[in-house]
Copies of this chain bind each other. A is one copy, B any other.
Amino acid sequence: MSAAPQTVHSQGSGSHSLEARLIRRLLSSLGDPPIEFLFKWTGERVAAPATAPVAQVQVADRGALLGLLADPQVRFGDSYSAGRIEVAGDLVELLSVLYRSAPRDGADGSLARRVAGWLHKPRRNTLSGSRVNIHRHYDLGNDFYALWLGQTMAYTCAYYPRLDADLDEAQVAKMDHVCRKLRLRAGASVVEAGCGWGSLALHMASRYGAKVRAFNISKQQIAFARSRAHELGLERSVEFIEDDYRNIAGEHDVFVSVGMLEHVGPENYAELGRVARRSLSSSGRGLIHSIGRNRPAPLHPWIERRIFPGAYPPSIGEMMQIFEPSDLSVLDVENIRLHYAVTLRHWLERYEESVDTVRAMFDESLVRMWRLYLAGSIAAFESGELQLFQVVFTTQENNDVPLTREYMYPR
């Protein structure tokens, strides 16, 4: 028998280690994605049968391997962040084949998916819970996000009128797409739920002449947004309010929320709908922009634990629990998931250019964790695991609605 490393391709036990056989079973349960494992401490290689691997997963030690076998979704991310798992080849491609190979279930979801749902309740988004959850992600520091989000600091899916648009152009195009969908006019009053670093609110005021009240519970984002409003001389048009969307009051022409719904939690959708309904005049228009799914499923558990505590991307059916109980009328739903894949590629490219700065600000572990998150998100949007929905709505009684959607596409 040769002592040279060999790749385990069959289910047969033969001369392969127990670990190799267990990884082989794991691959099989994942739909046999075309990837190869390398155990660095023995040189042994394991792959799904009859496929040319797109990338190699290099496991540094037996402990990391056992972790992977016990809880693959969470421990892959944790060991990758810790440098105990390395990837030779294209990280995005590796994660894409994992998403694409995963067996699709029947009508009720696979047992595994349902078990994952039971075990994995996202952290609840009560008023205080939301503050903790939002703080963990968004208060990593404005300087960190400024490295890779581009000039607008918009941390949501951009909109590419052409594939060769650059990130900043596409973020501005997204804001204009949203404003057009809302038929924003000079003097309109807008309330924004979850305003990030304030780019949309400022854009609505400076380019459309709107009066905006913008809510956010992230201290650092609000501080940043206020100082931008000051620099731009827009303090009279835009008010940044450090408060929860549930405390929004007053009647407005427009209700808008871009990239907040992911943090709201389905248990609060009916309340969000009541807030939106009471915020709108009878001819008011609303827009909610959110990551979503084709069917209900929990967020990837590693992302929910390490990156976005409390987050949940809903299906359209789940999103309707915002609108239906309040008799809001949905006028338009657009799915722009492929735009998010492009946006994320632009973010990842800028992130990699700034990786030394990130390492200096934090450590190698955060560098790797964030790289995995961005790459995995590209894979999720490209494979259709995640979607991006923009929903336009109005009150049931509003008949002041354009006949066609041509107004969204000026030329």
Contact = CB atoms under 8 A, between A and B. Distances in A.
Interface of A: 100, 104, 107-108, 159-163, 270, 274, 294-296, 315-317, 320-321, 323-335, 338-339, 382-384, 387, 396-399, 401, 403-406, 408-409, 411
Given A315-B324, A320-B316, A334 B405 contact: yes
B332 A335 contact: yes
A384 B397 contact: yes
Contact of A406 (B317, B323, B335, B409): B409
B396 A327 contact: no
A315 B393 CA distance: 14
Given A104-B327, A315-B324, A331-B334, 4 more contacts: A160-B403, A294-B328, A295-B325, A338-B401
A294 B329 contact: yes
Contacts of A397: 100, 383-384
A327 B295 contact: yes
Given A320-B315, A384-B397, A409-B405, A335 B331 contact: yes
Contacts of A107: 270, 274, 325-326
Contacts of A382: 399
B405 A384 contact: no
Q: Determine how many copies of this chain the complex contains.
A: 2
A330 to B, nearest CB: 6
Nearest to A384: B396
11 contacts: A107-B325, A107-B326, A161-B404, A316-B320, A329-B335, A332-B334, A333-B333, A383-B397, A405-B409, A406-B409, A409-B409
B323 A294 contact: yes
A324 B294 contact: yes
Contacts of A399: 338, 382, 384
A332 B330 CA distance: 12
A388 to B, nearest CB: 11
A397 B294 CA distance: 11
Given A100-B397, A324-B315, A403 B329 contact: no
A296 B317 contact: no
A330 B335 contact: yes
A332 B329 contact: no
Nearest to A383: B397
Given A324-B317, A404-B161, A409-B409, A294 B396 contact: yes
A290 to B, nearest CB: 14
A213 B405 CA distance: 30
A295 B315 contact: no
Contacts of A324: 294-296, 315-317
Contacts of A323: 294, 316
A398 B100 CA distance: 11
Contacts of A161: 403-404
A385 to B, nearest CB: 8
A141 to B, nearest CB: 33
Contacts of A160: 403
Contacts of A338: 399, 401, 403
- Nearest first, the 5 A-B pairs at minimum CB distance are A317-B320, A333-B333, A295-B324, A384-B396, A107-B325
B403 A405 contact: no
A296 B320 CA distance: 11
B409 A404 contact: yes
A403 B409 CA distance: 13
B328 A317 contact: no
A215 to B, nearest CB: 23
A358 to B, nearest CB: 30
Nearest to A385: B396
A204 to B, nearest CB: 21
Contacts of A333: 316, 330, 332-333
